[in-house]
Amino acid sequence: MKKKIIIICTITGIIFLILGGNLLFKYYKIKNAVINVSLVEKLETEFLSDVKVSDFITDINGKIINDYNINTKKVGKRKVNFKYINDDNIEINYSYDLRIVDTSPPVVWLNDNYTVTLGSEDNLIKDILCGDNYDNNPLCEIIGDYDINKINSYPLIFRATDSSGNITEKNFNLNVVAPNNKTNYNNSQTYFSDIIKNYKTKDTEIGLDISHWQGDIDFDKLKKAGVEFVMIRVGRTDGIGGKYVLDTKFERNIKEANRIGIPVGVYFYSYANSEKSAKSDAKWVLDQIKDYKVELPVAFDWENWNSYNEFNLSFFGLTEIANSFLDVFKKVGYEGLLYSSKNYLEKIWLKTDYPIWLAHYTENTSYQGNYTFWQICSDGIVDGINAPVDINIRYK
């Protein structure tokens, strides 16, 4: 019995010696491994840049195991950790410090002339769009003297400074004028039949986007007129954080479109000021459309540009809000779509993974980005609707 115990103990000891020896050898091997990693001179990259671990390595004695995309969504220093196998087949842990910077200046949405009415409230800082790609609250200020209560033209400077020290200055004339009670009417008309004639191809479909503004629509007439799809407004919120308001014609519009067989997409007019509120918007929309056939995309429509400064949002934050809304629908099988006009797509919205619904009222758009829907006019005339309507082109 004692002999058996001695044998077992001896074998166990040998095993521990072997394991311990292997561990010691591995430790010695790693400790004395040849590490030769050369980095770029300036370890710096732009906010939201698309970069990988290897982009900052000029030479390495081996092969990187995990050459991943670096998260550049926050300005400041980021430690980049990675592993590589050196030329002696030893796995090495390595890291370097990368600085993420923002060099993009703020945006000041302002023409050379800005006109206000004599005696009106001084809301220049509030009303003139002043925003930044990264900073939620850039410093916005007007340089120069003026008097809202005195008719004159005042040469001023609008200055915006973000948290990274980037500055935008815009020279403009503030024109204080007497009240004008004249109303300008736009009597232009675009016939649906002309859009079909000029833009209908085997790769396009011509349709409308509709809401309560179009009243009671005769969908049988729309079908006969050649309407190939409709984007229907579901509703909105009553301002920031307000209650949900269903479009008064939504149920009638979607039931009629489903009845007549016109393909349907929907859109929601949002006042979301956070990802949380955007997700809440999306869940409300889901509840409204769940019993209907919606085969075209669900669109996020955010157009609060006149009050943008009140939202305290960076352009990145706004884009993340749109993504949060559309992600909800993607998860349950709907397509997503971001609606906006050409100028805001070019100057405000950042890159998104979702297709674009472009609003640009012109015969030939100069927008250089990709888009799958084009809202070509807002003064459309079509049989079945007794009001102006937006006409759209969908690219298959």
Check: CB of residue 133 under 8 Å from CB of residue 316: yes
Instruction: Using CB atoms within 10 Å of the CB of residue 120, give its burial: 0 to 12 exposed, 13 to 18 middle, 19+ buried.
Output: exposed
pLDDT range class, residue 22, cuts 50, 70, 90: very low
Instruction: Check residue 185 and give its pLDDT.
Output: 63
pLDDT score of 130 more than 80: yes
Quote the tokens at residue 316: 């990145």
Helix (H, G, I), strand (E, B) or coil at 150: coil
Using one digit for the tens of pLDDT, what is the confidence trace for 329-382? 999 999 999 999 999 999 999 999 899 999 999 999 999 999 999 999 999 999
Residue type at position 121: E
Using one digit for the tens of pLDDT, what is the confidence trace for 163-217? 999 999 999 999 999 998 766 666 799 999 999 999 999 999 999 999 999 999 9
d(CA 396, CA 376): 16
CB atoms < 10 A from the CB of 99, how many? 12
Instruction: Check residue 27 and give its pLDDT.
Output: 46
Residue with tokens 């990187």: 64
Confidence (pTM): 0.88
**Neighbouring residues of 67: CB distance < 8 A, sequence distance ≥ 6:** 52, 53, 54, 82
pLDDT score of 387 more than 50: yes
Using one digit for the tens of pLDDT, what is the confidence trace for 279-325? 999 999 999 999 999 999 999 999 999 999 999 999 999 999 999 99
Using one digit for the tens of pLDDT, what is the confidence trace for 52-92? 999 999 999 999 999 999 999 999 999 999 999 999 999 99
Percent of the chain with pLDDT over 90: 89
Instruction: Check residue 30 and give its pLDDT.
Output: 55
d(CA 28, CA 125): 65
